[in-house]
Amino acid sequence: MSVPTSPDMAELRIEERIAATRMDLSPQERKAAATLLEHLDDLATYRAAELAQLARVSKATMSRLFRSLGFADFDEVREHLRTLRTSTGEPRSRDGGGWGDLPTHLAREAEVVRRAVEHPVVPQVVALLAAARRVTVVGWRNSHPVALHLRQQLAHARGDVRLAPLPGQVVGEELADVGPGDAVVVVGFRRRPAGFGDVLREAAASGADVVLVADPTAIEHARTATLWLECPVSSALAFDSYAAAMSLVSVLADGVLATLGDPAQQRVRAISRAYERMAEVEGG
């Protein structure tokens, strides 16, 4: 028998349920939730007791977590995952998933974008990025294009915006000059590289303010950051979508531009004039 679930919760995927309830979870339940997120793609291959052992929590804690997420037990979790694989190609289906239902995909994309750009932390991040002495944006793998775009957009509105790691380099050199008054934006969507948490901790230890831009699977890393901008990447298709992430970049950069006012507008005009003098970009 299923436990009572609110209509809103029933519409959410398991990782979104974890994100929605994380503030109400106990520390042990958060550990258990982090393990679920780490093993999302192969969760159905485990038994509940094995997951509890992986998370280093009791079986009772794991059971409480399932109920907090709106599931009666682990069997319902497995059924939830089976349904996702069948209807949306998740996790990472081999059969194309939701290609045949583009209206559903587009509707979900619009909702995810809306939730990302209306995140309550956005104004705080904008204020931080506008006031920081220096901004360093960090991102690897599939997070790198988002980090690169954020750096490029911010560089139009303000000076001293850096990207790390540069090709062939590591992050240590970039963090050596970071300190109080600086901001470090770490972009970390799922399939993060080993050592991701170490970089967050190193950045936080420098005294800089750390902003984490990541999907719900980064819940355990969020505690290290000053601010966490949660941005889902799950879609109705077989592959993750970064539409919300790129929209969020535009909103952040636009907010910084507006916050800095005339000096930022003058900087934009100066950059445009430099483009023209050097004929670096096409007109129009």
Over the range 220-259, which residues count as b (16 or more CB within 10 Å of their CB) and which as e?
ebbebbbbbbbbbbbbbbbebbbebbbbbbebbbebbbeb
List the chain residues with pLDDT less than 70. Answer: 1-8, 11, 41-42, 84-102, 104-105, 234-239, 283-284
If you classify domain 112-278 with CATH, what class do you get? alpha beta
Position 3 scores a pLDDT of: 43
Taking domain 7-91, whether its CATH number is 2.40.50.140 is answered by: no
Which of 243, 241, 214, 237 has its CA nearest to residue 92? 237
Average pLDDT, the chain: 81
Position 146 scores a pLDDT of: 92
Domain boundaries, the chain: 7-91, 112-278
